[in-house]
Amino acid sequence: MLRATSRATARPALRRLLLGAAASVAVAGSLTAAPPAAYAQADATGLPSPAARPGNGPDRDHLTVTVRNAGGGADGTFKLYCDPDGGSHPDPGGACAALERDTRSGTDVFAPAPEDGFCTMQYGGPATAHVTGTWAGRPVNAKYDRRDGCQISRWDRLVPLLPDMKATGKG
């Protein structure tokens, strides 16, 4: 059975509840603040210097993408870094977004097409790509071509990490 409380007895309880909540917020706020060392290493933008940012050490995820026979100026070897996005890749932001979109726990974004898959017998051109490096903390050594529908689909899933062959006129 619920019991009605008077205003006089409810106010001290409410005050204790509010004071307790305020103290909790103050403690949580102090725990999430950046350490003084992060401020000491800030660059002109107020952000931590690139060397102090998470993921910028020697173990940072990075990829090297080598593209051949794609045409339209898409051939070459490009470096890619994500978070922050950079490198010599022509579209680091788009490439990192494509990788992040397909990166899920328990899956390999660079996995080959299934051996027992049914693939359309179409030829997507002579373009090839080789991606090496580290992604999501795992080594990458993946080769791509456009010899059939499965391989074309696998390639297109990673555009713009790999060049858009429709844009180059060869796919």
26 and 108 in a single domain? The answer is no
For residue 76, the cross-strand partners are 67
Domain count, the chain: 2
Judgement on whether residues 33 and 59 belong to the same structural domain of the protein? no
Q: Considering the domain boundaries, does residue 110 fall inside one?
A: yes
Question: Which has the higher per-residue pLDDT, 49 or 130?
Answer: 130
Within this chain, do residues 86 and 21 fall inside the same structural domain, yes or no? no
Same-domain pairing of 25 and 77:
no
**Is 159 in contact with 134 (CB distance < 8 Å)?**
no
Whether 146 is covered by a domain: the verdict is yes
Q: Is residue 96 situated within a structural domain?
A: yes
- Whether residue 45 is contained in a domain is answered as no
Decide: pTM greater than 0.85. Answer: no
Name the band, by pLDDT with cuts 50, 70 and 90, for residue 28.
very low
**Domain membership of residue 120 as a residue range:** 54-168
Q: Mean of the pLDDT values across residues 71-91? A: 95
Residue 104 lies in a domain: yes
Sheet holding 128-135, edge to edge: 76-81, 62-68, 128-135, 138-145
Enumerate residues 6+ apart whose C-beta is below 8 A from 104.
none
Q: How confident is the model at residue 58 (pLDDT cuts 50, 70, 90)?
A: low
Of 153, 79, 66, 82, residue with least CA distance to 112: 153
Instruction: Let me know whether 91 and 126 are in one domain.
Output: yes
Judgement on whether residues 157 and 100 belong to the same structural domain of the protein: yes
